[in-house]
Amino acid sequence: MKKFKVLTILKIFLLSILLLLILRLVSTDFMPTMAENKPKIAIVIDDFGNNQEGSLEMLKLPIKFTGAVMPDMPKSEKEMNLLLENGKEVILHQPMQAHTGKVSWLGSSPILSNMSIKEVENVFKKNKEQINKAVGFNNHMGSLITEDREKMESILKIAKESNWFYVDSVTSSKSVAYDVAKSLGVKAVKRDVFLDSTKSKEKVKQNLRKTIEIAQKKGSALAIGHVGAEGGKITAEAILEIYNEYKNDVEFVYASQLAN
């Protein structure tokens, strides 16, 4: 009888050890996989470089995001460095001519439709050298230029030399920029949602939820917001509130992590 009890206790002890080992394997091998499968959200914040309203609030956000810095602005270099110091990613926000709007809105280093290919290349190289800690670029405005295959090819070939990626802001439904990037072997990603250009924080939150819904369906999504008049503090506040609401359900990543 005593021998039977000892064997029973021994069996229980061995089963307990086996169970602990199984639980440990589950926690180490399967939990990271579950985390990796969270929908991924990349947010690009445009118009850094001019100390615009909402810039500091954006820098304080406890998430990864990608800051697009305008060239030839009073604070271009400073805000590029501040973004990096606060754990954000930097890309060049390259001004490009649009179908509508004033050319003066593009600043002093835009790419225009009447430029030769050599002029386009020189402008892009100059801006690239200035925002020298960037790892990619997107277009500021640009509905006219992103429809121009020849000009986009010339720009993207230069980007490829530095292994830059491209975010097509899709300011035109006829944009060929993403397809040109892929044909050249340049990593690229398209915008899914514009977050702001509104004074309503609730509307920005609604757009963020839309971004999350897209990511839940296809695995990832990219949204674009702004500092300054197009977004600023309202957009930063909306992002923080949505982050607190969904931080256990989605993963916030850099735009470069979606460009493949």
Give pLDDT tens digits for 102-149: 888 899 999 999 999 999 999 999 999 999 999 999 999 999 999 999
Please check whether residues 8 and 122 belong to one and the same domain: no
- Least confident interval from 12-21, 68-77, 143-152: 12-21
CA distances from 203 to 123, 164, 171, 219 (A): 36, 33, 20, 23
pLDDT of residue 66: 99
69 and 195 share a domain?
Answer: yes
Per-residue pLDDT, 21:
54
The whole-angstrom separation of Cα 61 and Cα 150 is 38
pLDDT at position 16 over 90: no
Percent of the chain with pLDDT over 70: 86
Domain identity same for 187 and 247: yes
Is residue 7 scored above 80 in pLDDT? no
- Identify whether the C-beta of residue 181 lies closer than 8 Å to the C-beta of residue 205: no
Same domain, 32 and 158: no
Which residues contact residue 127 at a Cβ distance below 8 angstroms, ignoring those fewer than 6 apart? 71, 72, 92, 94, 109
For residue 248, give the CATH number of its domain.
3.20.20.370
Model confidence at 27: pLDDT above 80 = no
pLDDT at position 36 is: 64
Same domain, 132 and 248: yes
pTM, full prediction? 0.86
Angle (nearest 5°) at CA 157 between 177 and 94: 60
Query: In the chain, how many domains are there?
Result: 2
DSSP 246: H
The whole-chain average pLDDT of the chain stands at 91
Distance CA 113, CA 21 (A): 66
pLDDT, average across residues 64-76? 98
Mean pLDDT of 194-222: 98
Are residue 46 and residue 168 in the same domain, yes or no?
yes
**For residues 154-183, average pLDDT:** 98
Same domain, 33 and 74: no
Domain of residue 1, residue span: 1-37
- The reply to whether 162 and 191 lie within a common domain is yes
Name the residue with tokens 């290919």: 117
Whether residues 114 and 228 fall in one domain: yes
Q: Are 165 and 255 in contact (CB under 8 A)?
A: yes
Residues 223-252 have pLDDT tens digits of: 999 999 999 999 999 999 999 999 999 999
Report the percent of the chain where pLDDT is more than 90.
83
Mean predicted confidence (pLDDT) in 12-30:
54
**Whether 31 and 45 share a structural domain:** no
Phi then psi dihedrals of residue 221, to 5 deg: -160, 150
- Statement to judge: residues 25 and 152 lie in one domain: no
Both 139 and 150 in a single domain? yes
The letter for the amino acid at 230 is E
